[in-house]
Amino acid sequence: MKNISVVMSVFNGEKYLSRALDSILSQSHTNFEFIVINDGSNDGTFEILENYSDKRLKVFHMENQGLAGSLNHAISIAQNEYIARMDADDISHQDRLKLQLKFLIDNPDIDIIGSHINIIDENDCLLFKKIVPLSNKKITDLLPLQSCIMHSTFMLKKDIYIELGCYRKVFKYAQDYDFLLRALSKELCFANLPDVCLSYRVYDQAPNYKKNMLQIKFSNLARVSNSHHKKKSKLLIEPSISKLEILSYSAYLNIVNYKTKFKFMNRILICTAYSVAIFNPALLTHLYYDYLFYSKASR
């Protein structure tokens, strides 16, 4: 079968890096190269990578460029026709590459593919299975509202990355969503496999309000900058976060996540949370698109 280049960027990922590397190196499809960019890590990432001797693994130690820049470099040096994404804290299931490659070869009309995923915690324990839309029609209907192909499950031809200009560096977050929206504007075709091909790790820790707000703002920027009704050159400016936005977002989360045993009190709390969100236009936009996404997805 045709060759694959798996691309990964890692920054200070020593805790889960070996699990991620091993999950690719033990794939049932063995004909691939695995390009890993050490993006300026200052923990034990360097030593972990240097301890591997698999000839398919190609490691590059670089100064920190951010995810978009380091992935663009990995894609530029990839030698094979197909590129698969991988994150340094996730786990690819053993048949992932085989299943995705077979689907793309059997369905040449599909340009970008992902899959269902398992959500796991810091100890690899399964939390739940995340179901994503499968068909191109459903995905293209939902993409303008929210991303529905998980970044670390991407597989596509390198030519498509090159055609779309890879990842835009201004996007410190939501690089994948911006990429998918640009693919959508070019009328490319999408699919997700019904198989669970990857375990995606989440962390049980206090929310990083600033990081979460940046994710929201960059997602909003991706939607606006890919709109045909805006002058894109004036929109690609990295968003800033104010103290009021962080305060209102943290208040919103604390209120909306607080539950009582009384239904009427929970309704009052939800209304209060949305009232707080009025002080944060970016959050309101995010909630609006979330509402549209889940309304449309449930049909």
The answer to whether the beta carbons of residues 83 and 5 sit under 8 Å apart is yes
Report helix, strand or coil for 10. strand
Per-residue confidence (pLDDT) for residue 233, from 0 to 100: 46
What does the alpha-carbon distance between residue 11 and residue 198 come to, in Å, rounded to a whole number?
20
| Residues 185-201: tens digit of each pLDDT | 999 999 999 999 999 99
Q: Is the pLDDT of residue 254 over 80?
A: yes
Q: Is the pLDDT of residue 281 over 70?
A: yes
Q: Which pair of tokens denotes residue 275?
A: 């009232």
What does the alpha-carbon distance between residue 283 and residue 280 come to, in Å, rounded to a whole number?
5
For 285, what's the count of Cα atoms within 13 Å in the CB-facing half-sphere?
A: 16
What does the alpha-carbon distance between residue 71 and residue 85 come to, in Å, rounded to a whole number?
9
The answer to whether the beta carbons of residues 83 and 155 sit under 8 Å apart is yes
How many CB atoms sit inside 10 A of residue 35's CB? 26
CA angle 43, 49, 54 (to 5 degrees): 170
How deeply is 170 buried, as exposed, middle or buried, from its count of CB atoms within 10 A (0-12, 13-18, 19+)? Answer: middle
Which is higher by pLDDT, 261 or 140? Answer: 140
What does the alpha-carbon distance between residue 114 and residue 230 come to, in Å, rounded to a whole number?
29
Average pLDDT over residues 54-82: 95
| Residues 125-163: tens digit of each pLDDT | 999 999 999 999 999 999 999 999 999 999 999 999 999
- The domains found in the chain, sorted by start residue, are 4-201 (3.90.550.10), 209-297 (no CATH)
The answer to whether the beta carbons of residues 170 and 236 sit under 8 Å apart is yes
Per-residue confidence (pLDDT) for residue 259, from 0 to 100: 75
Which pLDDT band holds residue 262 (cuts at 50, 70, 90)? confident
Question: Can you list the alpha helix ranges (DSSP code H) found in the chain?
Answer: 17-25, 45-50, 66-77, 96-106, 136-142, 158-164, 175-185, 209-225, 243-256, 263-277, 281-297
Amino acid, single-letter form, for residue 241: I
The answer to whether the beta carbons of residues 86 and 24 sit under 8 Å apart is yes
